[in-house]
Structure 1
Amino acid sequence: MPEDLAFCTLVKIMFDYGLRDLFKLGLDVLHLRFYQLQRLTEGMNTIFHISLALLKASKKELLQLDFEGALKYFRVALPRRYRTEANAKELIHQAVKLKISHKRLSKYEKEFYSLKERELESQDPQERLEAEDSVESLQGQLERCMRTAKDLEDENNGLRAEYDQVKEMCRREVQRLESEAMRSQSIILNYKQICSDLSYRLDKQQENYQTQKKRISVGRRALLNLSEFQQYSPVKEENGCGLRVVELMDKLEESEQRVRQLELSLAQTKLELVEAQCRNQDLSHQVNS
């Protein structure tokens, strides 16, 4: 279509059919048309139109089926038949073409109620009373069932609220245990670092201790040799070797004491590390459980 002809067609549609009003400020006319369309597609009239169109289109197949076959046809074959867009549109067209008189519907309604009244009048009074008693009994059972359902619903709501509370408590407890586990893990890492430092210092002290021990042993042997020499020598000279040996012995004792202190400190730290690991393991079991 040429551009000028298309524009003229658009103007014709907009003004002659009132489509321009649909897009004015506020879109009030558009909402009105939607509401009218919604009301037209609701109600029993639309249901009657669709039902009659379905029965008319399926009349030949339904007359050839028994009761079970008809049920299966309505449940399986009929929905499958109108699954395509073309068949669905054809069904709607057939439904729109049907004419249903409201006067006839009112007439059928009056006939139905009159038939029900005659049926009640022709019924045995005793049977009618029994039927009414049965209806009252069923209504009472229905009311009791409704109350029971209401009580069960309230109980269910209470259990759901209690479940939410317990769930929140468990979540908080898990968070607390996880934070404690992280803190214990940090403490364990610190203890491991302390043990490593103490082990390093202990190794150094032991090396110094062995070095000083060797030096003292050498000095002691020299002192013994000097003492033997002085016993056979006529010259008595003052010598500082004895004092030097005493000083070395004192240093050796101090080194031994420091080594013992470091060993005790290392043993205590390892014990605390083991206790921290045990606490961390207990926390891990609590979190997993």
Structure 2
Amino acid sequence: MSAEQRAHEKLIRQDVARTFPRDAHFQAPQGQEALYAVLRAYSLYDAEVGYCQGLAFVAGPLLLHMPDEEAFCVLVRLMAAYGLRGHFLPAMDDLHLRLFQLDHVLQATLPRLARHFAQQGVRPTMYASQWLMTLFAYRLPLRLAVRIFDVVLAEGLDALLRVAIAVLKRSQARLLALEFEAILHFLNDGPLFAFYVHAAPDTLVRDANQITAVTPRLLQTLRRKYVEETERRLDEEDEMARLKAECDELRRENQRLQAEIKELPQDHHHQLAKKNVQLVVKNQQLEESLQDMEAALVQIKVLYAESESDRAVLAMKLDGLRKALT
């Protein structure tokens, strides 16, 4: 057994004991061993993911409805065919995509709440990552979590965005009255889901189904925008890295020339000093160019975010008009 696998198994053991702490089934030795077996099997099956915290909350609800072997197979299908694996890979690319989509969908469907979150500095990464990684099982009682699993198995992971918007919409009035720290507490540890805990079991699914603005077409558009924005940002970061490397090289050349000046006869000093001045000027120009690019990048990102917000709102209104006309 490799050191990495031993580390995975140790972490699985620790997490199994604290997964669903209020559920009698998973606090019993038999339930914990079944959960351990499925998670260990997956860590061996998918070495690139191995074990990542949060997977226990995905495997757990499955074990309430099927044997270990079937739960493992459904977990593999959720990860591979449904795309959940991209939430747990080291780079978490698909998770970042869905958080990007959630941010823009929130602006389009709940603009007042989106503006309030923006003013308070609250971003989806601060509260929604656990929702999307665990299919809400981390926050919901198991009897409600399995309803979300049913929706995901029937419609795919994009349904999670409708659930997220429905939950936020239900508590919008309270959230609008809170500030940064209180918002994060309400979303991460507070009573955000309290209404659904005491409501009829299908209430959350019905609320999610009423979020009709979250369409496959809109999400596909946001996916393309995310890819374009990511590629643009990477290109700009590469260019800034190149300029910084060139500046560093010029600084080193400047220091080398200064050292040579001290060792050369006096009649060479003037010529080298002149060359040194030229390098200093060029270095200064490059640094100013780099600063201009960084300032322009910030402005571009601000303008891009504003334009995308407007585009998403217009797209939603256009869909509404089309539906009204038909």
Q: What TM-score does the superposition give when structure 2 sets the normalisation length? A: 0.26
Higher helix share: 1
Q: What TM-score does the superposition give when structure 1 sets the normalisation length? A: 0.28
Please identify the structure whose Cα radius of gyration is greater: 1
Greater RCO, CA 8 A, separation 6+: 1
